[in-house]
Structure formats: structure tokens, C-alpha cells
């Protein structure tokens, strides 16, 4: 069983955004799976790195869309993204230095992702769609 199951209430209705969100969930599930399989610290760290890289990519694409749409809360949304990426980098660095941060990271990822999609991302959907900026 996956650590996180995608549910339809997480869909924004913007196809490529939902697809990227699902990939982030897949990365989180990969991180959980490598930990449960008693992966080495290096293998866990590699999966963390891939998760961070893909999340950064997604945020970049999402922010370009919000800019095209003229989303009034773009700077706020960018700040939320930056803060989250900074937090992920800090936790990853602590893990690489030997700290046991994986359990707290998984909890953070699960809670933050669902909250962010349901609150912040849903907040831009109408603006993006009305501006016709929902395509990559």
C-alpha cells in the first residue's frame, strides 16, 4: 500500500498541474518505500534529492502559469514555494549529516502537499482558467 493515496478532491482541474502533483505524490511514495525497504542513507538521500528537484521544477512551471494569468497573489505563492523548498533543503542537509529526519520529512510532505493543493492551488484555478493560462 502506498504511503499517500491520490484522491479526486486533490484535482485542480488543470490537467498538467494535476499530473505534476501526482508525480510529487509518487516521489513521496518512493521515499517512503526506500525507507521501508531499509535503503541505505545514500539511496534515501538520492530519492530526497529527486523529490526536491522535481518539486522545484513543478513550482517553476506553476509560477510561470500564474504570471501568464496575472494572478494577484503570485508573489505570495512564490514566497510559500521558496519557504517550502528551503525547508526541504534544510531537512535533506540534516539527513546527509546523519540526523534522523526522514519520519518528520514524510509527515511534513503529506500535510503540506494536501494543504497547499486544497488551499493555495485551488485559489488560483478560476483566475488561471479565465485568463486561458492553464496550458503549459
Which of residues 134 and 16 earns the better pLDDT score?
Answer: 16
Q: What is the pLDDT of residues 74-107, one digit of tens each?
A: 999 999 999 999 999 999 999 999 999 988 899 9
Give, in order, the Cα–Cα distances in Å from 31 to each of 10, 92, 98, 104, 123: 20, 12, 17, 12, 29
Give, in order, the Cα–Cα distances in Å from 85 to each of 62, 80, 109: 14, 9, 11
User: Are 45 and 72 a contacting pair, CB within 8 Å?
Assistant: no
Range of the domain at 89: 14-130
136 falls within a domain: no
Q: What is the pLDDT of residues 31-73, one digit of tens each?
A: 999 988 887 888 999 999 999 999 999 999 999 999 999 999 9
Segment 13-18 shows an average pLDDT of 96
Q: What is the CATH number of the domain that holds 20?
A: 1.20.120.50
1 falls within a domain: no
Supply the pLDDT for residue 74.
97
Cβ atoms within 10 Å of 106's Cβ, excluding its own = 17
76 falls within a domain: yes
Supply the pLDDT for residue 59.
97
* Dist CA 116 CA 44 (whole Å): 24
Q: What is the pLDDT of residues 21-39, one digit of tens each?
A: 999 999 999 999 998 888 7
Segment 110-118 shows an average pLDDT of 89
135 falls within a domain: no
Which of residues 56 and 134 earns the better pLDDT score?
Answer: 56
8 falls within a domain: no
Q: Cell 499530473 belongs to which residue?
A: 19
Supply the pLDDT for residue 81.
96
| Angle (deg, nearest 10), helices 41-69 and 74-96 | 170
42 falls within a domain: yes
5 falls within a domain: no
3 falls within a domain: no
**Domain total of the chain:** 1
Identify the band that residue 2 occupies on the pLDDT scale cut at 50, 70 and 90: confident
Amino acid at each position: 500500500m502506498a504511503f499517500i493515496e491520490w484522491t479526486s478532491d486533490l484535482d485542480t482541474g488543470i490537467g498538467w498541474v494535476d499530473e505534476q502533483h501526482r508525480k510529487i505524490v509518487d516521489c513521496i511514495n518512493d521515499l517512503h518505500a526506500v525507507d521501508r525497504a531499509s535503503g541505505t542513507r545514500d539511496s534515501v538521500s538520492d530519492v530526497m534529492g529527486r523529490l526536491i528537484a522535481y518539486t522545484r521544477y513543478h513550482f517553476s512551471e506553476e509560477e510561470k502559469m500564474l504570471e501568464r494569468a496575472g494572478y494577484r497573489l503570485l508573489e505570495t505563492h512564490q514566497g510559500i514555494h521558496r519557504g517550502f523548498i528551503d525547508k526541504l533543503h534544510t531537512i535533506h542537509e540534516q539527513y546527509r549529516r546523519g540526523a534522523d529526519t526522514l519520519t518528520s520529512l514524510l509527515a511534513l510532505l503529506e500535510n503540506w502537499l494536501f494543504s497547499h493543493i486544497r488551499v493555495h492551488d485551488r485559489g488560483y484555478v478560476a483566475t488561471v482558467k479565465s485568463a486561458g493560462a492553464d496550458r503549459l
